[in-house]
Chain A
């Protein structure tokens, strides 16, 4: 009995949690439903660890096992199994999805306390976990797609969890529709692969990855571009990122889990998994991917510098970091992309949960301009947030530095311009994150009424983005901010430790410390690129990265640490606040020409052409029938004519056969 055959348990446990909570969640109530969901995730994590242990015990080349559950689609030439792949890449993904997932579920027990749809929240969370795990553990594209769609659906459910608020419902729709565009790319890529290779499995004798070299370059390029389209949707790259900032309407644990650590990484996972295909594609395609990634990273970083909402900063930061991962993929540095994915999951989840803790502690205040000096009031949150801040800024020796540095090294190897974009982004990242830290935890206590009175905005503000509708009231300044309960701070501490020491996974000092790279090598085959950068170049690049991080912090310190926020209006131009007007542009295009096109399609094309064709066929048939009806005169003698005609025809045919 092969241990790895139990890989199906990993997604099955959250699924069992989902069903149980679906049926009995309401009765279990607050907080039992939450504990059940967390236990399911915890059990899945333990199973992942067991699978990991088993894989480690196997020799390197053999680390790939497919556990087939049943034949899912046996249709002619298409044979798709419900089978799970246990190989280094998928188990790595499963580990951090379940691990961080468990921590966030634990956190949610406290965060969602008091919400009237408490158990429903955990129903969706477990369903999401199931979908994500199916996505990463699937051994074929179709099953992955099932998970892909599942996480999209759960994202929709969870973003619009507080659907009574208009903006939340709209945000959920936006996320779903934007993702759909990406899904189209994924689907067409699947069609192309099946048409060319006859299978949708990853590995195996006719797997698309093992046979990638048999594809002609243009096909491989097309497939890669289509998969990238899918990744753009899911991982919020430049044209399709618009849903992610709006997704902050969902509860903060959702933002942490789905929109920081897991779902958004699905796109990157897909691209990394398809590394053998990327290698076969035209180099221009991968360059394009790298450019899009770098552009996204830079763009989002600029926007993050001007956001006031604590979650929006983190949302754009996520888009930016995802851009880094895509840049890494485009540069061929797949291990770096995964490394950054893992470290980013640690520190971004930490930052989001910390933000959630701040929001919770300030009774649902999300505007950073109304925060300040929380260092005294929420020490644990402050301390862990600092760790996350240093990690994301790329300050050595925390994890973020090592993973970002690897990406920058890979970018340098591809093109110095890409590297430059990455470095500028790193500078901006350090800047805006420091700005956030100084605004939230230092400075003056702007959340007190007497301080905010100066700004002349004493009117009762509407509930902030991300507020549970009708909960917590929203009193400002009256109650003191309080530290969050242990269920919320414990995950923070764990994540802080991981963010601090996560760099140990893949230190570039020598081949012996490159654990992650060695571990992931069997998953990539020959596609894994080896960065042959000279020792001097590597140290130089690393030094630049570290220096840039410190510079960004220094700039932010000088601007934000001591001064009042309103003195820095010039640094936050409206253009950046509105994300360069991208959302407005989309609305104009879709609302104007888009609506016209839709109207044309519905009324002109569908009604006149298609319906016309269908009705036309019917009319034609009826007309033909009417005309043919006249043959049936009812007179026997006419029918006798017909018989005579038939005889003549037969005679003629016989004559033709005989050949006269």
Chain B
């Protein structure tokens, strides 16, 4: 709790309040929307709110990255998949087939919140030396400080995550690759037999040798 800047002004308070509202409304929206597309859009709202909070905390680079990567790429990816697979049908949110799931979920959620809040009040946490990784405050741009830390102290994790990204992409390509014999259409467009079964006519042609 060191090096906190000057006391909060009323503008800061307003910004925080509004952002908090945006975040929470978006979160509720994600959870309680019946349509998945609505959920995705609500998620975008939450992400924007969080980005504003990042800015308010002097984490400028992260705010930008949040908007570009999270809201701009990841949620878009979500939407692509939703549209592609046609799962924008509405889910019956009212009914819950698993017995006791809902009450248990709410109870556990409530407990979790309570406990975390209580924990947050504790003041005997062990923390490490900040200078090992660099100070967040002080002269210099946030980007510069972040970059310096990443490319020196955290170089190895950086490289590893880069590799991770490559692997993820390759993995995704492999996962969605169709086997050669299958026809090039999605199951969402058909209301006939399961598309995973190969076309009958094709097989018949191949049999006589």
Contact = CB atoms under 8 A, between A and B. Distances in A.
A and B touch in the complex (CB under 8 A): yes
A652 B115 contact: yes
Nearest to A658: B122
Contacts of A647: 112
Place the interface of chain A in its size category. 10 to 19
Contacts of B122: 658, 660
Interface string A626-660: 00000001010110010011011001101100101
Contacts of B111: 648
B124 to A, nearest CB: 7
Contacts of A638: 98, 101
Place the interface of chain B in its size category. 10 to 19
A60 to B, nearest CB: 81
A635 to B, nearest CB: 6
A641 B105 contact: yes
Interface of A is mostly: helix
Interface in B112-138: 112, 115-116, 118-119, 121-122, 124
Contacts of B121: 660
Contacts of A658: 119, 122, 124
Contacts of A637: 98, 101
B104 interface: yes
A635 B122 CA distance: 37
Contacts of B118: 655, 660
B68 interface: no
Given A641-B108, A658-B124, A648 B115 contact: yes
B116 A641 contact: no
A647 B109 CA distance: 10
Nearest to A635: B98
Contacts of B112: 644, 647-648, 651
B119 A641 contact: no
Interface in B59-115: 98, 101, 104-105, 108-109, 111-112, 115
B106 to A, nearest CB: 11
A645 B116 CA distance: 14
A645 B112 CA distance: 9
Given A644-B108, A648-B108, A648-B112, 5 more contacts: A635-B98, A637-B101, A651-B119, A655-B119, A658-B119
Interface of A: 633, 635, 637-638, 641, 644-645, 647-648, 651-652, 654-655, 658, 660
Interface of B: 98, 101, 104-105, 108-109, 111-112, 115-116, 118-119, 121-122, 124
15 contacts: A637-B98, A641-B101, A641-B105, A644-B109, A644-B112, A648-B111, A648-B112, A651-B115, A651-B116, A651-B119, A654-B119, A655-B115, A655-B119, A658-B122, A660-B122
